[in-house]
Amino acid sequence: MDGKAAPNGVATIEDRILRITGYYGYYPGYSSQKSASRSSVIQCKPGGNCPSRHRGMTRQLSPLSVAEDSAAPILELQNRSPSGICRHSRVERQSRSEEGTQTHTESSSQEAEGQTRCQSCTSTFLKLIWRFLIILSVSSSWVGTTQFVKITFETFDCPFFMTWFSTNWNIMIFPIYYSGHLATAQEKQSPIKKFRECSRIFGEDGLTLKLFLKRTAPFSILWTLTNYLYLLALKKLTATDVSALFCCNKAFVFLLSWIVLKDRFMGARIVAAIMAITGIVMMAYADGFQGDSIIGVAYAVGSASTSALYKVLFKMFLGSANFGEAAHFVSTLGFFNFIFISITPIILYFTKVEYWYPFSAVPWGYLCGVAGLWLAFNILVNVGVVLTYPILISIGTVLSVPGNAAVDLLKHKMIFSVVRLGATIIICMGFLLMLLPEEWDEITLRFINSLKEKKSEDHSEDMTESSVHTRSRSRANGTVSIPLA
């Protein structure tokens, strides 16, 4: 009786524990049935001697084993409980979502970086194309104007009338600008309001009759003189020589700005001015300082001088101007030319200095071609200065020299002498030297110092790598390198 009571008591204790803990697989007599089935099962190794049943070897349960057996369902219950399963699945799901989010973020950042690089490359390429087109357009328009003038002179020898007729076309610059404003601006303004806004270049009060006569008259006279002398030079010299001599206006602008505007002195630009003067002398010497050559050189140099004076006075009295103000000012010059300078070609006609008869003999097609190309050049100069860099306009102007040389060589079969070719090259080199920025010396010194620092850093890195390599080899050979004192 005592031997059977102990298992029943243990079973009763286990039943109580299971009932208290609320084990979902509990039913009365569960523990006794479980312990009986556990004690009746005997595991044997394959090929081993299993104990016989008649020995009656049974498992003796101790209180410690009872506690372990009773604790096993509790641990199993905790592991199988719905809250534990949900918590574990929630953690796994959260970790998977975090990994997915991180992967998606990395891929999206890489895609955004790739798109940014692609957009930057595309914008840089478009800017280069735009600048190249500006340079090509400026050069082509100036070459076309010069060549059309040479062709027109073959049948119509009236340079002042051509100058007056071409200058009148400047009236259309402001309407063209306003048309572009209507096409591109989000907030469109009326013509009168836009005209008043752009007329502030003359002062806070805008364009008055007094300012119209005071500010417009000198600039209109300089504009007419520049173009008229340029056309007179084309009657005496080739297009290549005249375009090369006209590039000297950059040197004259520097000299006048240094004298009148007290601009910064630059040795490089002084050298460029000397080169320009040397080229002028060589160009005049090409035909021995006689005949039409020296007169043509004088006309071309006079045209470059009046152009330089126009630019310096504009900077002195009017300062800088945006595209709208520049378009307004040039259109005002055309209007002044049409009103006040129209009397000059009439006087020249009746004095038979510039006489054409009959009226139908005037080559209006060539005249309109010259005026249209000149108008395009003026628009490109004003647009290019605002939308791009002024240096691009200067490069386009100097490229007109080889452009005219190519046309003279291929079409007119011109043969250039060594002196003229040398003078042209010297003038163009001086013009390019004028394009150096004012801080070119500081920029050059900074660039040289950066190169020196980079070389010193590379040398120190090489010395460090060589010393590390030497130490590793000495340690591998079992020797120690001792520096000499």
> What's the whole-number mean pLDDT along residues 305-315?
91
First to last CA, the chain: 101
Residue 308 zone, left/alpha/beta (φ > 0; ψ -120 to 50; rest): alpha
Task: Quote the pLDDT of residue 457.
Answer: 66
Comparing CA positions, the residue from 252, 241, 169, 193 lying closest to residue 416 is 241
Two structure tokens written together for 223: 């504009």
Task: Quote the pLDDT of residue 454.
Answer: 74
- Rounded to 5°, the CA angle 311-314-320 comes to 105
Residue 443 predicted with pLDDT over 70: yes
Task: Quote the pLDDT of residue 357.
Answer: 77
Q: Which of 92-106, 209-223, 383-397 has the highest mean pLDDT?
A: 209-223
Task: Quote the pLDDT of residue 376.
Answer: 93
Q: How would you label 82-101 residue by residue, b for 16+ Cβ within 10 Å and e otherwise?
A: eeeeeeeeeeeeeeeeeeee
Distances (CA, A) of 62 to 11, 14, 35, 70: 12, 13, 12, 12
> pLDDT confidence of 141, banded at 50, 70, 90?
very high
Residue 231 predicted with pLDDT over 80: yes
Task: Quote the pLDDT of residue 87.
Answer: 47
The more confidently predicted of residues 256 and 475 is: 256
Residue 259 predicted with pLDDT over 70: yes
> What's the whole-number mean pLDDT along residues 414-430?
86
> pLDDT confidence of 232, banded at 50, 70, 90?
very high
User: Which of 97-111, 130-144, 327-341, 466-480 is predicted with the least confidence, judged by mean pLDDT?
Assistant: 466-480
Task: Quote the pLDDT of residue 150.
Answer: 93
Angle between helices 364-387 and 159-168 (to 10 degrees): 50
Two structure tokens written together for 52: 């016989």
Distances (CA, A) of 388 to 128, 175, 198, 378: 11, 22, 20, 15
> What's the whole-number mean pLDDT along residues 283-298?
79
Residues 6+ apart with CB under 8 A from 93: none
The more confidently predicted of residues 387 and 294 is: 294
Task: Quote the pLDDT of residue 464.
Answer: 65
Task: Quote the pLDDT of residue 371.
Answer: 95
The more confidently predicted of residues 85 and 141 is: 141
Comparing CA positions, the residue from 172, 292, 150, 305 lying closest to residue 231 is 150
> What's the whole-number mean pLDDT along residues 256-270?
81
> pLDDT confidence of 56, banded at 50, 70, 90?
very low
pTM to 2 decimal places: 0.68
Residue 161 predicted with pLDDT over 60: yes
Residue 59 predicted with pLDDT over 60: no
> pLDDT confidence of 375, banded at 50, 70, 90?
very high
- From the centroid of its chain, how far is CA 257? 31
Task: Quote the pLDDT of residue 22.
Answer: 55
> What's the whole-number mean pLDDT along residues 64-85?
42
> What's the whole-number mean pLDDT along residues 422-449?
80
Residue 445 predicted with pLDDT over 80: no
> What's the whole-number mean pLDDT along residues 199-221?
84
Q: Which of 63-72, 106-115, 251-260 has the highest mean pLDDT?
A: 251-260
> What's the whole-number mean pLDDT along residues 36-54?
43
> What's the whole-number mean pLDDT along residues 142-165?
93
CA distance 256 to 235: 28
Mean pLDDT of the chain: 76
> pLDDT confidence of 200, banded at 50, 70, 90?
confident
> pLDDT confidence of 332, banded at 50, 70, 90?
very high
Residue matched to tokens 């890195």? 461
